[in-house]
Amino acid sequence: MAIRKGLMGGVALVAVGAAGAFSISHVKLSWSPQAQAAPPVVMAEAKPALPPPSKEQVSEARMLSRTFSQVASQLSPSVVRISVAKTVKGMRGAHHGMGGNGGNPFSGTPFERFFGDQGQGNDGDDDQGQAQGPKQRGTGSGVVIDQKGYILTNNHVVEDADEVKVSFSDGKEVKAKVVGTDPKTDLAVVKVDGVEVRAAKLGDSDKLQVGEWVIAIGNPFGLDHTVTVGVLSAKNRSGFQGPSHYEDFLQTDASINPGNSGGPLVDIDGEVIGINTMIAGIGTGIGFAVPSSMFRPIAEQLISGGKVRRPKLGILMQDVTSEIQQTLGGKAPAKGALVGQIEPGSAAEKAGVKPGDVIVAVDGAPVDGSKAVQRTVLTKKIGQKLELSVWRDGQSLKLAATTQEMAGDQQQAARAGNAGASKAKLGLGLQPLTPELAERLGVGKGTRGVVVGSVREGSPAQEAGVREGDVLLEVDRKPIVSTEEAGRLLGSERAGGHLLRLKRGDSALFMVLPNP
């Protein structure tokens, strides 16, 4: 029962019943000198669960805080804002060019939501009024890595840009030229001349431990030289952009937002250990950066020759799962990379690698899966010898291989030219079906086919009802196992169009894809 003093000289009694109902009655009381005053209520003093911080603790906290400030101060002259302009060709409505994305020059790419643009208002909504015109404009970040004026950033920041400008912390703005790009790792190098620069110190991401402090510096939403602090949440993250990209991301909870793209992720020593590249979504607190172990050799090659040359073994691999281990036999390794296919004449074939082998170590360093093998091989030089430790039918073998040069992006694009043209006419963007994608799409590990990565608006594919995320199983009753094969079949004219068999989640369905 709670008692409160009435407004008219009485006391209101509030009773709470079992069902939570309140009944209120007013009782008129007369006050007399003989009335005894209620004893004073003595409140127990609230005691904190913990003692106040000591002077030493406060001093240590201030020292850490000051360390963050010092790191930011030292890096500030090396962090730049990159502004780009790109000519729009063939804008076709709300979902093409700038029309549907407020001036974002990277609409339709995996980084559409991450790259800051100047077509957005302060409230973050698309500004359709500024989305018209022959130029798309956007901003990103970068970091100076060489005293000669070389600046490292993301490929998606400067890709196809007609004009690149770099702004420094002291207000200087100069034109820059693109030295080289590497779409497979989303890295690029630009260069400025005629201006004094301060290069940041590069660190070693391999030595950084999960849980250590990291600091992100960049220009989110156009707010120059914003500093955010967090920890290294994880290492070796991959599986976001498909097999055509090389992924070995650092994950951090240091706040990263649109416009941070291309800026540095630094450790407590003020050394750059990552280039901020991607986020899981605005406000999620999950960001990803290309580690220095990957970006350093890429940057060196772009600076020296404007392109990247990579080593390869010439094998297709997949991770060893518990199910695969059981089928291989009781003594099969629980971890490793199962070789599924070997390129004819490749380094792997010459070394004696066979389909069904399980690679368990490279140069004596254990590997837990296909990505680990790929990462290790990419750290080697073209023509360098390495040792593969493999498991084959219950036996452990050591094979010597010499890396070969991987075909460049332009050569690969030339080989797939006709297939790509046919798919473009139909409005289909296809990509290989990896085990990770199969699991994400819920189509089962044993499914064979290719994934529909994009469908162009107004295209024959959209008219037929094809959707992003569909798995293309057959074209004209012929099974599909590669994007090249799909492109070849779709490139031929067929009366009435092509009969597609697709898998969408748990369902399989047929569709007729009309000729373009």
Q: Which residues are catalytic?
A: 156, 186, 261
Strand segments, DSSP code E, in 244-284 are 249-252, 264-267, 272-279
Joined together, the tokens standing for residue 88 give 């729009």
CA dihedral 146, 150, 152, 153 (to 10 degrees): 150
Angstrom CA distances, 501 to 408, 446, 473, 497, stand at 33, 16, 6, 13
Task: Confirm if 435 and 473 have CB atoms less than 8 A apart.
Answer: no
E strand or H helix at 59, and its extent?
A: helix 55-75
Joined together, the tokens standing for residue 218 give 């960049």
- Return the SS3 of 239: coil
The secondary structure of the chain in percent helix, strand, coil, rounded to multiples of 5, reads: 20, 35, 45
Buried b / exposed e along 385-418 (16+ C-beta atoms within 10 A): ebebbbbbeeeeeebebebbebeeeeeeeeeeee
Strand segments, DSSP code E, in 350-497 are 358-362, 365-366, 385-392, 395-402, 404-405, 428-432, 450-455, 471-475, 478-479
Closest-CA residue to 167 (of 137, 201, 197, 189): 197
Q: Which residue has the tokens 């099974």?
A: 479
Q: Which residue has the tokens 């939501």?
A: 113
Euclidean distance between CA atoms 480 and 514, whole angstroms: 19
Which residues share a beta bridge with 503?
A: 471, 508
Task: Confirm if 426 and 497 have CB atoms less than 8 A apart.
Answer: no
Tell me which amino acid residue 158 is. Answer: V
Which residues share a beta bridge with 165?
A: 83, 175
Task: Confirm if 381 and 402 have CB atoms less than 8 A apart.
Answer: no
Residues ≥6 apart with Cβ < 8 Å to 412: none
